A = this chain, B = another copy of it.
Amino acid sequence: MKFESATIKDIAKALNLSTSTVSRALRGSYEISAETKKQVLEYAEKINYRPNPIALSLKERRTRAIGVVVSEIANNFFSQAINGIESIAYNRSYHVIITQSHESAERERVNVEHMAARGVDGLLVSLSSEATDLSYLKELHEKGMPIVFFDRVTNEIQTHKVIADNYLGAFHATEHLIYQGYKKIAHITSSPYLSITKERLDGYKAALEKHKIPFNESLIKHCNHGGMIVEEVEDVLNELYKSKTKPDAIFTAGDRLTIVCFGILKRMKQKKEAGFTGFTNTQVGDLFSPQLTVVRQPAFDIGQTATELLIQIIESRRPVTEFETRTLETSLIIRESSLKKANSAAESGSVQA
Contact = CB atoms under 8 A, between A and B. Distances in A.
Copies in the complex: 2
A3 B288 contact: no
A95 to B, nearest CB: 6
Interface stretch (A26-34, A53-61, A180-188, A196-204): A53-61
Interface in A112-141: 113-114, 117-119, 140
Interface string A56-81: 01100100000000000110100110
A79 B70 CA distance: 13
Q: Which bracket fits the contact residues of A?
A: 35 or more
Nearest to A68: B98
Contact of A117 (B50, B74, B83, B288): B50
A138 to B, nearest CB: 13
A319 interface: yes
A58 B58 contact: yes
Given A74-B83, A95-B114, A100-B86, A140 B54 contact: no
Contacts of A287: 259, 262-263, 266, 288-289
A226 interface: no
A98 B73 contact: yes
Contacts of A53: 114, 117-118
Interface stretch (A15-23, A143-151, A168-176, A232-240): A143-151
A155 interface: no
Interface in A79-105: 79-80, 82-83, 86, 95-100
A286 interface: yes
Nearest to A72: B79
Contacts of A289: 287-290
A10 B146 CA distance: 25
A36 to B, nearest CB: 25
Interface string A246-261: 0000000000000100
Given A2-B61, A5-B117, A54-B54, 16 more contacts: A1-B319, A4-B143, A53-B114, A53-B118, A54-B57, A54-B117, A54-B118, A73-B79, A74-B83, A95-B114, A97-B98, A259-B284, A263-B287, A266-B287, A287-B288, A288-B288
Interface of A: 1-5, 50, 52-55, 57-58, 61, 73-74, 76, 79-80, 82-83, 86, 95-100, 113-114, 117-119, 140, 143-146, 259, 262-263, 266, 283-284, 286-290, 314, 316, 319
10 contacts: A3-B144, A3-B145, A50-B113, A52-B117, A53-B118, A54-B58, A74-B80, A95-B99, A259-B284, A263-B287
Enumerate the 7 nearest inter-chain pairs by beta-carbon distance, A residue then B residue, closest first.
Answer: A289-B289, A3-B143, A74-B79, A3-B144, A98-B98, A73-B73, A287-B288
